């Protein structure tokens, strides 16, 4: 199998330890990434800060830039600026807004919504959001939308832009629970956000290659980052899937320069000290 991932990043994957079984742990992911000549990856966990795990990977594998972050679900206090600041002080780079505990995600999944989180009240962002944004700006972190609704996500990114946050991502825009079309995606790009596309949605047949290519071409590689969003036991290894993702885009006529932008240049800037 040809390797397309030299100096590439996967900015969104799931490894163990976790509250659910994962296909591989941090150590195995680091070995696989090193073997492919990747430059780094980002460890996401829905319930725990992964910054210390990422630091341990980077120390053992100095050739890799492993990054971690915090997801604002109930286990960390929800929309809690103190939790974000504590994570920042241990090296967290990414802040994902609610995922499994997002009200809109629970509605989509037809699950109990009693204790779930919405960041809008009467159409206005709740005050706690601004406290979190201030911490993100202070520590030069990366703001990600998570699994919140389109309306919540757009309000969040607009507020982040107004706060001077320069590194923002619309999380897996092609995922069914948060799907946004090209017209909607352009609203986020206008506010300075990157659009994330993940191979996960192709693996589970939640989107098509034609739609994926259409969205990428319409938005432009300058504004896109690619990821796997993998680590689920039933799916391929993250690096294998990301490699096939890149191969598939090339086979469908995408230029190598566009691929470089999405898996090398853009994530390299996101993980840099520049802000």
pLDDT digits (tens), the chain, 275 positions = 799 999 999 999 999 999 999 999 999 999 999 999 999 999 999 999 999 999 999 999 999 999 999 999 999 999 999 999 999 999 999 999 999 999 999 999 998 888 999 999 999 999 999 999 999 999 999 999 999 999 999 999 999 999 999 999 999 999 999 999 999 999 999 999 999 999 999 999 999 999 999 999 999 999 999 999 999 999 999 999 999 999 999 999 999 999 999 999 999 999 999 99
pLDDT for residue 112: 87
Q: How far apart are CA 86 and CA 73, in angstroms?
A: 15
Q: Strand 168-170 and strand 69-71: pairing?
A: unpaired
The contacts of residue 110 (CB under 8 Å, 6+ apart) are none
Q: Which residues contact 205 (CB under 8 A, 6 or more apart)?
A: none
What is the distance between the alpha carbons of residues 259 and 197, in angstroms, rounded to a whole number?
A: 12
Distance CA 173, CA 157 (A): 14
Q: Are 168 and 159 in contact (CB under 8 A)?
A: no
CA–CA distance, 196 with 144 (Å, rounded to integer): 10
Spatial separation of the C-alpha atoms in residues 224 and 220, rounded to whole Å = 7
The pLDDT of residue 113 is: 86
Q: Among residues 91, 86, 100, which one has the least CA distance to residue 51?
A: 91
Dihedral of alpha carbons 140, 187, 113, 43, sign? negative
Q: What's the full length of the chain, in residues?
A: 275
Do 237 and 24 touch, CB atoms closer than 8 A? yes
CATH number of 9-270: 3.20.20.140
Q: Which of 163, 157, 147 is nearest to 96 (CA)?
A: 147
- Cβ neighbours around 21 below 10 Å, total: 9
A 10 A CB-CB count for 181 gives 14
């Amino acid at each position: 199998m040809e390797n397309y991932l030299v100096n590439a990043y996967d900015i969104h994957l799931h490894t163990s330890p976790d509250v659910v079984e994962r296909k591989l742990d941090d150590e195995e992911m680091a070995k696989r990434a090193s073997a492919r000549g990747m430059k780094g990856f980002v460890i996401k966990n829905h319930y725990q800060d992964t910054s210390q795990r990422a630091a341990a990977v980077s120390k053992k594998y100095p050739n890799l830039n492993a990054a971690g972050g915090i997801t604002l679900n109930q286990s960390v206090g929800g929309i809690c600026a103190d939790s974000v600041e504590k994570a920042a002080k241990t090296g967290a780079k990414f802040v994902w807004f609610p995922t499994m505990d997002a009200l809109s995600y629970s509605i989509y999944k037809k699950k109990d919504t009693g204790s779930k989180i919405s960041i809008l009240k009467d159409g206005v962002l709740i005050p706690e959001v601004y406290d979190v944004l201030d911490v993100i700006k202070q520590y030069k972190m990366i703001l990600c939308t998570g699994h919140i609704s389109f309306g919540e996500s757009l309000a969040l990114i607009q507020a982040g832009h107004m706060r001077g946050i320069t590194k923002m991502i619309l999380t897996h825009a092609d995922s069914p629970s948060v799907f946004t079309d090209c017209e909607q995606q352009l609203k986020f790009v206008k506010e300075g956000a990157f659009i994330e596309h993940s191979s996960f949605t192709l693996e589970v047949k939640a989107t098509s290659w034609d739609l994926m290519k259409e969205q990428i071409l319409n938005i432009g590689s300058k504004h896109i980052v690619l990821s796997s969003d993998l680590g689920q036991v039933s799916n391929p290894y993250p690096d294998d899937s990301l490699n096939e993702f890149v191969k598939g885009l090339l086979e469908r006529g995408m230029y190598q320069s566009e691929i470089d932008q999405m898996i090398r240049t853009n994530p390299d800037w996101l993980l840099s000290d520049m802000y």
